Structure 1
Amino acid sequence: MANKIQKKAKKCIKKIRLNKLINRHQQKADVLKKLFFIRFLYNGKTVDEAVELMEIALSTGHRWLDEWNEGGYENLYPKIQKWWA
């Protein structure tokens, strides 16, 4: 089995484009994680229980809950940092 030929990924796009795609989808994955956290709360879990299930810090859970309570779904997306601000 050690002599088995390993498959390689065909380079269909440039690496910089691949990195941009990863970054775009990472944001969506982060929002999805926050939505799972909120669903735990909707289902009756406490913040302490939900952060344990999500394996995140308690402070992160409270920040996500505050974001949700202040602006709902749209507020779960990261805020764009402007370099001049």
Structure 2
Amino acid sequence: MSEQTLIKEYPGIISEIQKEIKRLENDVRVLNKLYVILDILHDVTVAEVMKKHDISQGTVYNWIREWNEGGMENLKRKSGSKGKSKLSEEQFKILDEIILNEELKTAKEVHKAIKDNFEVDYSIRQIERIMKKLDYSYTKPYKIYNKMPKDAKELLKKT
């Protein structure tokens, strides 16, 4: 049986899809807020709204406050509320090459490389997001206890 390509790929398609998903997610958030406002306008109690939409009381009141302060436009994501990146797209490409060439494995190593090469300081959490954006997987390290039996993996499999 031969392998069949299900989706035609082209350069940049993954980042295009991710951008579109992000845009649609924001639209869904606004839609959810509007459903809550509509329920309140139809005299549904806050407790019922919380249960129906699975949100907290504080969230309901925040969305009501946003609505009262500026209507539908105020419920939408504010332009510029997403912080501008300190690195340009070109610098991200250079960073990607640095990570590959220097075989950087940890967020701390990437943090140091960004500081040294671009004189920009990010938090470790933001470095993890940047690595994810550049399609690097990231897993948190786990402890290996010195008192752990040598055959711990086998014992775990049995249970």
Cα distance change, pair 9–43 in 1 and its aligned pair in 2 (3 A): farther
Q: Aligned letter for 1:18?
A: I
Give 1:3's aligned residue: none
TM-score normalized by structure 2?
A: 0.44
Partners in 2 of 1:62 and 1:78 — Cα distance?
Answer: 17
Q: Aligned letter for 2:34?
A: L
Point out 4+ residue stretches in structure 1 off by more than 4 angstroms: none
Greater relative contact order (CA < 8 Å, ≥ 6 in sequence): 1
TM-fit CA distance, 1:48: 2.0
TM-fit CA distance, 1:63: 0.5
Partners in 2 of 1:17 and 1:49 — Cα distance?
Answer: 39
Give 1:4's aligned residue: none
TM-score normalized by structure 1?
A: 0.79
Give 2:70's aligned residue: 71
TM-fit CA distance, 1:52: 1.3
Structure 2 unaligned regions, length at least 5: 85-159
% identity of equivalent residues: 33
Question: How large is the Cα RMSD of the aligned pairs?
Answer: 2.4
Aligned pairs for 1:22-61 within 5 A: 22-61=21-60
Partners in 1 of 2:81 and 2:24 — Cα distance?
Answer: 18
Q: Aligned letter for 1:81?
A: S
Partners in 1 of 2:49 and 2:71 — Cα distance?
Answer: 18
What is the number of residues matched between the two proteins? 80
Match of 1:11 among 4, 9, 12: 9
Partners in 1 of 2:64 and 2:48 — Cα distance?
Answer: 13
Partners in 2 of 1:60 and 1:10 — Cα distance?
Answer: 42
Deviations 1:10-67 (A, max 9, x none): 4366100000000111111000000111111111112222111110111111110100
